[in-house]
Amino acid sequence: MSRDNLNRRRFLQSTAAAALSAPSIARAQGSAVKVGVLHPVSGALSYSGQQGRIGAQLAIEDINAAGGIKALGGAKIEAVLGDAQSTPDGGNAEVEKMNSAGVAAIVGGYASSICLAASQTAARYNLPYIVDVGVVDSIVTRGLKNTFRFGPGFGVIAKTALDNLVAINDAAGKPAKTVMIVHEDSAFGSGLSKLLNTQLPERGFQVLEVISHPTPTRDFNNVALKVRAQNPDIVIPANYYNEYVLFARTMQQQRVRPKGIYSVLGGAASSYKFVKEFPEAAQYIMDCNHWFDPKNQKALELKKRIDARNEFYTYEVYMNYSCILLLADAIERAGSADRARIIGALENSTFGGHLMPYGPTKFVNGQNQGAAPVNTQVIGNDIQVILPASFASAKAVFPMPRA
Amino acid sequence: MVSSVILVPALLNGLMTGAVYALVALGLTLIYGVLHIINFAHGALLTAALFAAFFANKLLGIDPYVAALFLAPLFFGIGYALQRFVIGPAAHGEDRNILLVTLGLAVMIENALLYAFRADTRTINLSYAFDVVEIGNSFLAVPRVVAFGVVVAIAALLWFAMRWTDTGKAIRAVAKEKLGAELSGINVAHIYAVTFGLGTACLAVTACLLIPTYYVNPHAGNAFVLIAFTIVVLGGMGSVAGAMLGGLFVGVVESFSGLYLGESLGQIGIFVMFILVLLFRPSGLFGERA
């Protein structure tokens, strides 16, 4: 909003107009329900943010094309787009704007640090907030009634990742014993590395070193050198897309060849964009991350549509798509765009029409208990699911064959 | 914990990065030596040059190294015009006015770029950006090796020009004794503008060397200028050799402090050094007097 929108005359005009039109909103059946769609579409996280926005917008288009919110007389969903500019402050500012624009709920945030700040601000207005990706567990342990996370958090992801790492290593005859963690230094990377650093030794792995770096970082030479000197069996990168790609390419450039690159929520490790642009650097990278249900027809149809648009089907797309569907279902059951009633409907949600390989939807303190990650690996020019067995489309290739 | 497997490549990486810093510092120190002002617009002009190199590649498909051949003269012209028609006249002969004018220019250029291109961080992808040269057990990125070579060549060329050409001699004359130079028929306003143009042309070359591996956003140049300022102080205000050696030294310090203190804290080494130089040798390594 530009500054001149805030002058007194405009303010009076708009509030007068709102007051006059309010009764007609109440009468009119099917007037639009505004939903805040918040992503970091500029700045360091802009690629992920833009992907998230695409997913949310497609879901809204689909819902509207299928007749809108039926309980509200076919009301259309109207997206109020926001740019968090890759910072928590940017996210907060957008939540304030969305609140004054009268949104019924907000979906998005992407980065943990943005989700933490934005959901807190939304809580002040009792505004329902659905976290699309943000994985830090404190997002749902602060006791905020308005905040819901459909996807899995750190705790679950790290546990699954470690279980699967042990399983993959055991299956290959336990070739890996040492690990190095490279993580970005905001809430996401630091939290994850702390968790891994305490749990890896319990599972029989020795953590040689933990290296942190800021986002953005434009040079990973020193980091790659340290990895080369320590020569760990497994490298675990935990960073966002740009840094992940740069780090993987720098390792390739510096001829660092561990037995495995195993990411937990690797920013690019299970991204079709990365695999297409840098197939050599991406080859055999394993990841424990968000992924769509490869047996879900809706998920595969959406993939075709995204491919047809020449976009990449990254997890931001289908997670945001699923979150918007979840919200629409809640509004439908609430039978109202009232914020408190939407929160009530989300609390009791058993929504099953999403695209994810999750168990039954059930929210406890805002966290979906059915949410779970899967393990993927880049094999050839594709990304395959290697674990859990019920979804797997390929067997893990470990240790990495030497080129 | 750190062995020679790391130390040698880290040293070489530091030297490569340092060379780029040195070129930024070279422009800064040249302008300081002659005009006796710190050019606050240096960072903003570097950002502008980065954008120019970026769009030359994105829109016209010109390789950054080729772009340097025409961006350097272009930015020389921009620098010349800025000094001749904006900074010079606006300063009314007072040094502190020049300082404020360049500060104002910096604010204007940065915000114009922000308005035109938003805050997005942009990069270009070149096929050779991740190619390496193998030296012993270190793998050096090709763009860095190229940058190193180009910077050394430019520094040598600049040194040679300052020593042997008429313009070079005139620049040195104006730097030493402005009034005397004016009395012997040197057009001081012209020499000021030429110097400013040379400093700006250095930035255009820097930008072309950086863009294959670096990124551009409306604040990208600032990170370098803070470092360049440290180098100028370290090497001695106005000294070409000081800027070159200072740049290499700072690059190595940064590389090693990144290695030992972690990437998040890496740059702290540079600024610790900056404070130490100010405390113990305020005239710098090659400075004549404080």
Tokens of A8: 């007194």
Residue B3's pLDDT band (cuts 50, 70, 90): low
- Shortest CA distance to A165 belongs to which of A254, A249, A233? A233
**Does residue B58 lie in a domain region?**
yes
pLDDT digits (tens, 9 = 90+) for A314-324: 999 999 999 99
Alpha carbon distance A284, B250 (integer Å)? 38
In this prediction, residue B289 carries a pLDDT of 47
CATH number at residue B135: 1.10.3470
In this prediction, residue A99 carries a pLDDT of 96
In this prediction, residue B98 carries a pLDDT of 81
Judge whether B83 and B192 are in contact, CB under 8 Å. Answer: yes
Phi-psi sector, A345: left (phi>0), alpha (psi -120 to 50), beta: alpha
- Shortest CA distance to A49 belongs to which of A317, A355, A321? A317
Higher local confidence (pLDDT), B197 or A192: B197
Asked whether residue A20 carries a pLDDT value surpassing 70, the answer given is no
Asked whether residue A63 carries a pLDDT value surpassing 70, the answer given is yes
Neighboring chain B residues of A229 at a CB cutoff of 8 Å: 2-3, 5-6
pLDDT digits (tens, 9 = 90+) for B49-95: 999 999 999 999 999 999 999 999 999 999 999 999 998 888 887 77
Q: ∠ CA(A355), CA(A361), CA(A364), 5° rounding?
A: 140
Asked whether residue A21 carries a pLDDT value surpassing 80, the answer given is no
B108 touching A (Cβ < 8 Å): no
Alpha carbon distance A313, A311 (integer Å)? 7
Q: Is A202 exposed, middle or buried (0-12, 13-18, 19+ CB in 10 A)?
A: exposed
pLDDT digits (tens, 9 = 90+) for A176-226: 999 999 998 887 888 889 889 999 999 999 999 999 988 777 688 889 988
C-alpha distances in angstroms, A253 versus A61, A207, A245, B133, B139?
A: 43, 24, 12, 10, 7
Asked whether residue A287 carries a pLDDT value surpassing 70, the answer given is yes
- Shortest CA distance to B227 belongs to which of B192, B251, B211? B251
In this prediction, residue B288 carries a pLDDT of 59
State mean pLDDT over A84-89: 92
pLDDT digits (tens, 9 = 90+) for B110-165: 899 988 887 667 778 788 877 888 887 788 889 989 999 999 999 999 989 988 99
In this prediction, residue A76 carries a pLDDT of 95
Residue A9's pLDDT band (cuts 50, 70, 90): low
In this prediction, residue A26 carries a pLDDT of 41
Mean pLDDT of chain B: 88
Overall domain count for chain B? 1
Cα of B83 to nearest chain A Cα, Å:
33
B58 touching A (Cβ < 8 Å): no
Judge whether A95 and A83 are in contact, CB under 8 Å. Answer: no
Asked whether residue A114 carries a pLDDT value surpassing 90, the answer given is yes
Of A225, A249, A252, the CB nearest to B10: A225
Determine the residue of chain A that is closest to B218 in CA distance.
A43
Cα of B99 to nearest chain A Cα, Å:
31
Q: Which residues on neighbouring strands pair with residue B10, listed in sequence order?
A: none
**Number of Cβ atoms within 10 Å of the Cβ of B267:** 17
Asked whether residue B260 carries a pLDDT value surpassing 90, the answer given is no
pLDDT digits (tens, 9 = 90+) for A47-62: 889 999 999 999 999 9
C-alpha distances in angstroms, A332 versus A45, A79, A337, A339, B159?
A: 32, 17, 9, 13, 75
Alpha carbon distance A272, B80 (integer Å)? 48
State mean pLDDT over A338-349: 95
Give me the domain span that covers residue B65: 4-118+131-280
**Does residue B189 lie in a domain region?**
yes
State mean pLDDT over A248-252: 90
Q: Which of A13-17, A84-88, A387-391 has the highest mean pLDDT?
A: A84-88
Q: Provide the chain B residues 243-262 that lie in CB contact (below 8 A) with chain A.
A: 255, 258-259, 262
- DSSP alpha helix (H) spans, B118-187: 142-164, 166-176, 178-183
Among B114, B122, B130, the strongest candidate for a mutation testing the A interface, having the largest count of A CBs within 10 A, is B130
Q: Which CATH number fits domain A30-152+295-368: 3.40.50.2020, 1.10.3210.10, 1.10.510.10, 3.40.50.2300?
A: 3.40.50.2300
**Does residue B185 lie in a domain region?**
yes
Domains A30-152+295-368 and A155-289+374-387 share a fold: yes
State mean pLDDT over A13-32: 51
In this prediction, residue B43 carries a pLDDT of 93
Asked whether residue A14 carries a pLDDT value surpassing 80, the answer given is no
Residue A11's pLDDT band (cuts 50, 70, 90): low
Q: Where are the domains of chain A?
A: 30-152+295-368, 155-289+374-387
Neighboring chain A residues of B147 at a CB cutoff of 8 Å: none
Asked whether residue B2 carries a pLDDT value surpassing 70, the answer given is no
Cα of B6 to nearest chain A Cα, Å:
6
Indicate the pTM of the whole model. Answer: 0.75
Alpha carbon distance A161, A153 (integer Å)? 12
In this prediction, residue B178 carries a pLDDT of 87
**Does residue B32 lie in a domain region?**
yes
Cβ–Cβ below 8 Å for A219 and B213: yes
Alpha carbon distance B39, B131 (integer Å)? 36
**Does residue B286 lie in a domain region?**
no
In this prediction, residue A13 carries a pLDDT of 53
Tokens of B206: 């820097």
pLDDT digits (tens, 9 = 90+) for A125-174: 999 999 999 998 899 999 999 999 999 998 899 899 999 999 999 999 99
SS3 of A211, please?
A: strand
Residue A265's pLDDT band (cuts 50, 70, 90): confident
- Tell me whether strands A382-387 and A374-379 are parallel, antiparallel or unpaired: antiparallel
C-alpha distances in angstroms, A378 versus A107, A207, A287?
A: 30, 24, 9
B6 touching A (Cβ < 8 Å): yes
Judge whether A174 and A205 are in contact, CB under 8 Å. Answer: no
In this prediction, residue B213 carries a pLDDT of 83
Residue A27's pLDDT band (cuts 50, 70, 90): very low
Phi-psi sector, A173: left (phi>0), alpha (psi -120 to 50), beta: left
The interface predicted TM-score of the complex, written ipTM, equals: 0.72
Asked whether residue A28 carries a pLDDT value surpassing 50, the answer given is no
Tokens of A257: 């060849």
Question: Any idea which fold A155-289+374-387 has?
Answer: Rossmann fold (3.40.50)
